[in-house]
Amino acid sequence: MSQEYRYILRIMGTDVPGTLKTVYGIARIKGISLNLANAILKKAGINPNLRVGFLSETEISKIEEIIEEPTKFGLPGWLLNKRKDIETGKDMHLISSDLIFRTKKDIDLTKEIKSWRGYRHAYSLKVRGQRTKTTGRAGKSLGVKKKSLRSGGK
């Protein structure tokens, strides 16, 4: 444990408040879920109930090392968010801007090959089989227009 408390830490390019428990602080990084955060802390040997502000520099570097290459440290493939990549065929885990860029690239690929999923993305329709008759109608005209009463009539 470090002897000093820090209010904000920078972990993998993300500002993490020092008041959070370590597991919730790591889960603040885009692309890392609570399950993955727990597995990372278990591999690093850090107490998940410890506050982030009390982490030492060596503990932070150990966490970052595990986040960069989780398969090297024996984390199972089902925890990763990019399995069987189209280009390399390997299991990877992407975080922050890399995750956003890769997701956008995958969507553009589905549009380019004109798959059904790409078609739905291109026309801003629901992609995962949701109903469209009554939900997701924001931005379009809604409801039925009422008939106006004649002037002078009851």
Cα 121 to the center of its chain, rounded Å: 19
Position 153 pLDDT exceeds 60: no
**Which tokens belong to 107?**
């969507």
Exposure string (b/e) for 30-58, b if CB count within 10 Å is 16 or more? ebbeeebbbbbbebbebebebbbbbbeee
Confidence band, pLDDT 50/70/90 cuts, at residue 2 = very low
Residue 40's nearest CA partner among 3, 72, 14, 9 is 72
Give the tens place of pLDDT for each residue, 89-101: 888 888 888 888 9
Amino acid at residue number 35: N
Q: Please answer whether residues 77 and 26 qualify as being in contact, where contact means their C-beta atoms are separated by less than 8 angstroms.
A: no
135-150 confidence digits (pLDDT tens): 777 766 656 667 777 7
Quickly count: other Cβ atoms within 10 Å of residue 22's Cβ.
Answer: 25
Share of the chain above pLDDT 70, in %: 90
Instruction: Summarize pLDDT for 53-77 with one digit per residue, the tens.
Output: 999 899 999 999 999 888 888 888 8
Sign, Cα dihedral of 107, 110, 111, 113: positive
Spatial distance between the Cα atoms of 68 and 95, rounded to a whole number of angstroms:
9
In the 8-state DSSP scheme, what is residue 82?
B
Asked whether 6 and 53 are in contact (CB, 8 A), the reply is: yes
